[in-house]
């Protein structure tokens, strides 16, 4: 990469759901930036180019993870984990777990997600402020991912803490993350052993039954699901509720017509900028012409999913939240071989998490007395606190259908 005035990347941490304004200023051909280790990289912001980086096999995740000059531990999944593998290894490992995420399996999980949302909301008070982050968004997400894996309920809170810590970008995090990975791997190895002896209907039992040459692959997969599945959904749900409850017209229209929720969820996924970095880096394994720029073999490329999701060449009026936007070709779940394995589950959690709250607490509103607080120092951006006054429960019981076919 050449260039005399290189911008530092990632951009400074910021609050809110919008992507950093620098992305819009840099919109156009790939732009040279300099990473925290001094390594130069191409920042890619256009939807068309982002899709190429995620789908063209000449852009390698494995090479990025192996590159010692890139920001590594804590900012990148460990070597050998799903997000660090290239085809054909990647496909082989992903197939070990993909069955557990099929549309049929996820449909079967939906009633449980809905019941968990109802159960978590029910005891929360009608009056006074409730912080929805610990009470609802985080609690729902950890319960769903914990139940999916088959982690005992008593360990869910510990699991959520691990997930937070593994995504930390605070100073000193890489050392702590390295040690923690060892502890989490030990816990999962033990649990996989117990599931092999006494299988249940859960993901760890499914993994324990797979024949692999290296059992560490199964531990890595379970860890990938924990890390990729909890913080993402928990933070996105909180930001989505901030937007929905912050717009009473939107809240009442979705409450009146829950069939619109799936489209609204897609738009919230597009609109909320979840990553504190645009995406996991890739390294070009050959010279590639990308959006009119020659990217050389060995160059690092960061394809910013959050910038592509606001690309005016792809979306009319991209900075407007349009809950009925169709089509909606966002890349919040990535694209290509690493496309989010948990996308269907995340969609179900978001639709149920919003739908059940609107249905059971029709007067829910942001707390006028206290604003939301944002947390920093994580790979995933989001709310530390979301104070809401929930209001009375519906007397008729929850109207739980969210517009999806849940038969
Ligand atoms: C709103 C919630 C979520 C968002 C926005 C999200 C986003 C993403 C993105 C962008 C990627 C691709 C990263 C890349 O290619 O660099 C990804 C991969 C992945 N996600 Fe999600 N995710 C969410 C929820 C979940 C859930 C609930 C699970 C599982 C329970 C999950 C499991 C995974 C796994 C295992 C991968 C790696 C796939 C692979 O490398 O083949 N995600 N996710």
How does residue 42 score in pLDDT terms, banded at 50, 70 and 90? very high
- Using pLDDT thresholds of 50, 70 and 90, give the confidence band for residue 406: very low
Which of 125, 99, 61, 115 has its CA nearest to residue 338? 61
Q: Tell whether omega for the bond before 327 is within 30 degrees of 0, i.e. cis.
A: yes
* Arithmetic mean of pLDDT over the chain: 90
- Nearest ligand 1 atom to the CA of 230 is 27
Can you give the pLDDT at residue 88? 93
Q: Using the mean position of ligand 1's atoms as its centre, give its distance from the Cα of residue 124 in Å.
A: 30
How does DSSP assign 234-273, residue by residue? HHHHHHHHHHHHT-HHHHHHHHH-GGGHHHHHHHHHHHS-
With cut-offs at 50, 70 and 90, classify the pLDDT of residue 212.
confident
pLDDT for residue 78 is more than 80: no
pTM over 0.85: yes
Band (400; pLDDT cuts 50, 70, 90): very low
Which of the four pLDDT bands, split at 50, 70 and 90, describes residue 2? very low
Answer yes or no: is pLDDT of 79 > 80: no
Q: What is the pLDDT of residues 160-189, one digit of tens each?
A: 888 878 777 665 666 777 788 888 899 999
Over 70: is that where the pLDDT of 405 sits?
no
Q: Give me ligand 1 centre to Cα 169, in Å.
A: 19
pLDDT band at 3 (very low <50, low <70, confident <90, very high): very low
Q: How far is the CA of 49 from the centre of ligand 1 (A)?
A: 20
118 lines ligand 1 (CB under 6 A): no
Residue that wins the pLDDT comparison between 224 and 391? 391
346 Cα nearest atom in ligand 1: 27
List Cβ neighbours of 210 (8 Å cut-off, separation of 6 or more).
Answer: 96, 218
CA-closest residue to ligand 1 atom 30: 229
User: What is the mean pLDDT of the segment spanning 89-106?
Assistant: 90
Closest by alpha carbon to 289, among 304, 301, 281? 301
Q: Residue 362 Cα, ligand 1 centroid: separation in angstroms?
A: 31
Q: What is the pLDDT of residue 263?
A: 98
Q: Which atom of ligand 1 is nearest to the CA of 305?
A: 10
- Interval between CA 154 and ligand 1 midpoint (Å): 25
Q: What is the mean pLDDT of residues 207-226?
A: 89
Those residues with Cβ within 8 angstroms of residue 238's Cβ, 6 or more apart along the chain or in another chain: 132, 133, 137, 138, 382, 383, 386
Q: Does residue 345's CB lie within 6 angstroms of at least one atom of ligand 1?
A: yes
Q: Kindly state if the Cβ of 226 falls inside 6 Å of ligand 1.
A: no
Q: How far is the CA of 233 from the centre of ligand 1 (A)?
A: 9
């Amino acid at each position: 990469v050449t260039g005399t005035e290189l911008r530092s990347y990632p951009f400074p941490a910021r609050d809110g759901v919008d992507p950093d304004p620098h992305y819009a200023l840099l919109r156009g051909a790939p732009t040279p930036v300099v990473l925290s280790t001094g390594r130069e990289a191409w920042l890619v912001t256009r939807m068309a180019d982002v899709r190429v980086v995620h789908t063209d096999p000449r852009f390698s995740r494995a090479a990025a993870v192996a590159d010692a000059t890139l920001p590594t531990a804590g900012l990148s999944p460990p070597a050998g984990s799903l997000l660090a593998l290239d085809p054909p290894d990647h496909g082989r490992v992903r197939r070990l777990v993909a069955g557990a995420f099929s549309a049929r399996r996820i449909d079967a999980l939906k009633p449980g997600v809905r019941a968990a949302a109802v159960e978590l909301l029910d005891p929360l008070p009608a009056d006074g402020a409730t912080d929805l982050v610990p009470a609802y968004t985080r609690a729902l997400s950890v319960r769903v991912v914990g139940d999916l894996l088959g982690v005992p309920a008593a360990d869910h809170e510990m699991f959520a803490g691990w997930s937070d810590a593994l995504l930390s970008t605070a100073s000193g995090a890489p050392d702590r993350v390295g040690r923690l990975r060892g502890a989490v791997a030990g816990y999962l190895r033990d649990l996989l052993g117990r599931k092999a002896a006494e299988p249940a209907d859960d993901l760890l039992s499914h993994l324990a039954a797979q024949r692999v040459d290296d059992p560490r692959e199964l531990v890595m997969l379970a860890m990938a699901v924990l890390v990729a599945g909890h913080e993402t959904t928990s933070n996105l749900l909180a930001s989505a509720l901030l937007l929905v409850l912050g717009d009473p017209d939107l809240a009442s229209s979705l409450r009146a017509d829950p069939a619109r929720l799936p489209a609204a969820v897609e738009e919230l996924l597009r609109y909320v900028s979840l990553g504190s970095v645009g995406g996991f880096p890739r390294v070009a394994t050959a010279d590639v012409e990308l959006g009119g720029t020659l990217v050389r073999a060995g160059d690092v490329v960061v394809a910013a999913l959050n910038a592509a999701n606001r690309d005016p060449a792809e979306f009319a009026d991209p900075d407007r939240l349009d809950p009925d936007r169709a089509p909606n070709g966002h890349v919040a779940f990535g694209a290509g071989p690493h496309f989010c394995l948990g996308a269907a589950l995340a969609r179900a959690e978001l639709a149920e998490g919003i739908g059940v709250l609107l249905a059971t607490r029709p007067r829910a509103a942001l707390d006028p007395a206290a604003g939301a607080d944002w947390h920093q120092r994580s790979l995933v951006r989001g709310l530390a606190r979301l104070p809401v006054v929930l209001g009375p429960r519906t007397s008729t019981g929850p109207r739980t259908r969210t517009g999806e076919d849940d038969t």
